[in-house]
């Protein structure tokens, strides 16, 4: 299935006639089969966990639109935690019959667009939003208690306490548990503003404005997949040089270490880079609790 297409809602400010474009991701379904399951107040749309994970993890707000060809109407509903009902293997959402796409819907759709407009343009996001896509995907279960990794957690905590360490590198093969470890680690931190780098938004001239405070921990998960690692590291170097309290942790797979090391060498002295011991299986991790 294709991802959401983008609908543009235009607001004109008078008298200067300045045009603003606001974006909403739309998933449009057409045909009588999508209108068969109904309640007194709406239509029931059912979807897969994979699609829900993609839509809820998208940088834009997403709405589902059902097209009634016979009535020549389109009904819509925003995909949100409040509207979605889990059904075991899947999920469902009610599309209200009162939500008809048209002039009357413009104010509400414009309000929804506003909720994603700023977020979609930001380079960084919160841990909660970063991991939201994975939380609704059954392939990722971050709710189970972390087993072991005590030595890795200790090394990362030592990195935060190290006044000379600016960058930490965490290496592990795909599926070994890097993201789960990071989620567990940052959930227990205090005294730091934790931000995760988005893969979908590149570093720009506006990125520095997102770091206006102090005491930032920037996490770049799967850094080997980020095309703008060099630019981000250069920005961190400049901010650190200006006295800002900021640290970065990069996670990557072994196949990406050469590229990451090259980028680090262009921006930081080796003494500023902390190497966390490469993650192995929990069976190999001697810190794994026996009970």
What's the mean pLDDT in 181-201?
Answer: 92
pLDDT score recorded for residue 133:
55
Query: Would the pLDDT of 97 be above 60?
Result: yes
Clarify whether residues 59 and 140 are in a common domain: no
The CATH number of residue 65's host domain is: 3.40.1350
Decide: pTM greater than 0.85. no
pLDDT score recorded for residue 116:
61
Clarify whether residues 56 and 95 are in a common domain: yes
Clarify whether residues 48 and 128 are in a common domain: no
Residues of 232-261 as b/e, b for ≥16 C-beta within 10 angstroms?
Answer: bbbbbbebbeeebebbbbbbbbeebbeebe
* Domain contains 222: yes
CA angle 123, 128, 131 (to 5 degrees): 85
The CATH number of residue 154's host domain is: 3.40.50.300
What's the mean pLDDT in 30-59?
Answer: 89
Clarify whether residues 230 and 130 are in a common domain: yes
CB atoms within 10 A of CB 173: 14
Clarify whether residues 114 and 133 are in a common domain: no
pLDDT score recorded for residue 4:
52
Spatial separation of the C-alpha atoms in residues 143 and 220, rounded to whole Å? 21
What's the mean pLDDT in 24-45?
Answer: 95
* Domain contains 289: no
Residue 108: in which H helix or E strand, if any? helix 106-121
Residue scoring higher pLDDT (184 or 8) = 184
**Dihedral angle sign, alpha carbons of residues 232, 236, 241, 244:** positive
CA nearest to 115, candidates 25, 180, 40: 25
pLDDT score recorded for residue 177:
86
* Domain contains 20: yes
Banded model confidence at residue 197, pLDDT cuts 50, 70, 90: very high
Query: What residue numbers bound the domain in which 86 lies?
Result: 5-121
Banded model confidence at residue 60, pLDDT cuts 50, 70, 90: confident
Least confident of 9-13, 63-67, 247-251, 262-266: 9-13
Banded model confidence at residue 7, pLDDT cuts 50, 70, 90: very low
Clarify whether residues 110 and 139 are in a common domain: no
Clarify whether residues 129 and 84 are in a common domain: no
Clarify whether residues 200 and 263 are in a common domain: yes
pLDDT score recorded for residue 117:
55
Report the number of distinct structural domains present in the chain.
2
Clarify whether residues 164 and 232 are in a common domain: yes
Give the end of a domain, one of 91, 121, 151: 121
Residue scoring higher pLDDT (17 or 118) = 118
Q: Which residues pair with 233 in a beta bridge?
A: none
Clarify whether residues 91 and 157 are in a common domain: no
CA terminus-to-terminus distance, the chain: 44
């Amino acid at each position: 299935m294709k991802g959401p297409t983008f609908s543009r809602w235009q607001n004109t400010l008078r008298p200067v006639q300045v045009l603003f474009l606001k974006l909403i991701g739309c998933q449009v379904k057409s045909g009588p089969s999508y209108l068969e399951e109904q309640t007194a107040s709406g239509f029931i749309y059912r979807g897969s966990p994979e699609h829900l994970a993609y839509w809820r993890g998208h940088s834009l707000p997403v709405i589902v639109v059902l097209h009634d060809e016979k009535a020549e109407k389109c009904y819509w509903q925003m995909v949100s935690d409040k509207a979605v009902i889990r059904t075991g293997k899947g999920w469902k959402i009610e599309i209200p019959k009162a939500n008809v796409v048209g002039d009357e819907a413009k104010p509400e759709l414009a309000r929804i667009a506003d909720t994603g407009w700023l977020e979609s343009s930001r380079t960084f996001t919160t841990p909660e939003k970063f991991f939201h896509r994975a939380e609704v995907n059954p392939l990722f279960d971050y709710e189970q208690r972390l087993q072991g990794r005590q030595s890795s957690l200790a090394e990362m905590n030592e990195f935060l306490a190290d006044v000379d360490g600016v960058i930490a590198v965490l290496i592990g093969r795909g599926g070994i548990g890097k993201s789960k470890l990071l989620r567990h680690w940052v959930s227990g931190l205090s005294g730091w503003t934790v931000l995760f780098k988005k893969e979908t938004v590149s570093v720009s001239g506006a990125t520095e404005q997102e770091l206006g405070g102090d005491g930032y921990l920037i996490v770049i998960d799967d850094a080997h997949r980020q095309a703008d690692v060099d630019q981000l590291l250069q920005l961190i170097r400049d901010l650190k040089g200006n006295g800002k309290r900021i640290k970065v942790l990069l996670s990557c797979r072994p196949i990406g270490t050469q590229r990451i090391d090259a980028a680090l060498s262009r921006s930081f002295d080796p003494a500023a880079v902390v190497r966390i011991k490469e993650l192995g299986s929990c069976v190999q991790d001697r810190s794994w609790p026996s009970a």
